[in-house]
Structure 1
Amino acid sequence: MPIGRQPTSSRIWPSGGAHLWPPGGTSADHTHPPGHVVYAAQGVLSVHTEGSTSIVPANRVAWIPAGCPHHHRAHGHTDMRIVFLPPSLARLAPARPAVFLAGALAREVLLALTGPRDRGRAANARLHRVLLDELREAGEQPLQLPEPRDDRLRAVARTLYEQPADNTPLAELGRRTAASARTLSRLFRGELGMTFYQWRTQLRVYHALVLLAEGHDTTHVAHACGWSNPSSFIEAFAAVVGTTPGRYRADTR
């Protein structure tokens, strides 16, 4: 069920739905009996599951298995599409939440399945199979931000969530949390599976996606997220998202 800022418009049917969310719109934690995919035709979604946050811009699709608790948040005006998969196809998808690259065909299929036209059960079944084939062929391309469990990591994460442009060295962040840089480095690798600098880059790209969805230009976003110049930001953004900030903004409008 939605909480806070609710969808401004919704279309719901047994096989899926479409919701137009205002900036900051957030759903309560919930589950669905069938597994489903979530796509942002416009704007950016963050899908929160236990232990991590998945970022879903317009070139990604999130998969959420049946019965998996989750909630989502809209960044910018967001056109969210949901497609429920029948059990016969859902069992071919991962048993855990995942994020897939959304190619042009997958995006068109998602829009067709969630559009106003009723194609009928047989046509929808064919489109479901095409969608799953496309996602499996593209492979997982996660934009995930793992959530730390250790109190010291959580303190570091809290600082950077609030100030993503903060360039404080890890050693100084460690002194604030009574942990050495070596200890924090070990915790980042052990708990989150990445280095501190990789995690911070993921966090900054997450914030960049949000700011771009809100309409800010590339130069503003680069500085707001901690890059010293737009060129460095564009390079880092493209390495993570797979497209430049300018192309991304054009694709999501």
Structure 2
Amino acid sequence: MEHHVSIWPVLVLAFIHFFGIQLRFLAGVPRSVWLSVAGGVSVAYVFLHLFPELSEGQEHVSQLNWAEQFLSHHVYLMSLVGLAVFYGLERVVVEEKYRQRQAPRKEQPHQQGIFWLHIGSFAIYNALIGYILFQREEGTLQSLLLFSIAMALHFIVNDFGLQEHHHDSYRRIGRWVLVAALVVGWGVGYVVALPEALVVLVMAFVGGGVILNVLKEELPEERESRYWAFMLGAGLYAILLLSL
């Protein structure tokens, strides 16, 4: 069956990484209302749209012979793995920043290693999102739009979090790596068709990552986040998703 390819969704998400951090009104403390709204939208999408799809996709995963006797809930296991992986990365970065404040003169070599670990992990994350984005083009325009909007807002949240951690290194190098990874993931989708079961597992991993990456930006006390804004974003997008 011929696959009609539209490049605009990946270009829009790439544009977010290029220019998202230029939105200066989103920076600073207390945390921007708009970032909290964006985080709420992303989480609502995962719980009300992505996870129900994963539940339907469980039957494909159960057909994997190598996994049949491992666990009966492979899909949700992968969501847990995604959440745990990004929680671990965040702890590594936070602890390293603390060590740098304690002993700033011996920071450079180790600091670069942490930067590349962090950016490399998000590059893989972006590549997976790019692949899912291409797969969404096989579905309805509505499904593609809902995914693209949620990921665009999620990327803005990620951009500000990564810039806070890595400052000029992210602006000069990191965001370019993430853009390239997104496009590469989308391109892989164009030339490689993974089995349906693996696509479902990739979506599950990304879903867990989205939840953790949003909440880690909202929860720290020093961010002075606005709970009502997060709930507003989640509530409005939930209403939209449930009405479709």
TM-score tier by shorter-chain length is under 0.3
* Bigger relative contact order (CA 8 A; separation at least 6): 2
